[in-house]
Structure 1
């Protein structure tokens, strides 16, 4: 986790070009003020806006402005989900690959019984 009082300082701590980070933030701030994200279309569907802030021009964007601190942390690619989750049966039970279904637990996986 990196913490800095300015975007320029944060970029230096991140090992990235300070001008590029500042330009990215200015671009995002423009989208937040305009209420339209021309890069990714954030906020264009009800699904996007469900957890958004309806008081903003775009419920999914807010300006990054002067703050006590700015923070950054590395983000690494990963896989969403549970890699199949629990093996489940048509009944609300979990199955071990070598044992019969157990009624002691409920289905929570994302891959139903074949």
Structure 2
């Protein structure tokens, strides 16, 4: 009974990893090619291949745990390093308010 519960828990974890990988590959596909070069990261094609292999591993090779860990590391690197650099190069994350260097906690210092 305990093993069955652990198997169910792990299937939810693997489903979460798959959703995370799909989000990463879709996000990478929607970014512009020149943003990758401007951010001095690998090419868009490189990241699409790596992240696409992660999705394929999640879908078609469910029992190879080491491959899932490698894919998770690739997804984390994309989310923590590449994506913020692409957002910075592209001109922001879509927020309605973007502060400047002269902004304090309650607004601009130079009024």
Q: State the TM-score, normalized to the length of structure 2.
A: 0.30
More helix by share: 2
Taking structure 1 as the reference length, the TM-score comes to 0.29
Q: Relative to total residues, which structure has the larger strand share, 1 or 2?
A: 1
Higher relative contact order (CA 8 A, sep 6+): 2
- Higher alpha-carbon Rg: 1
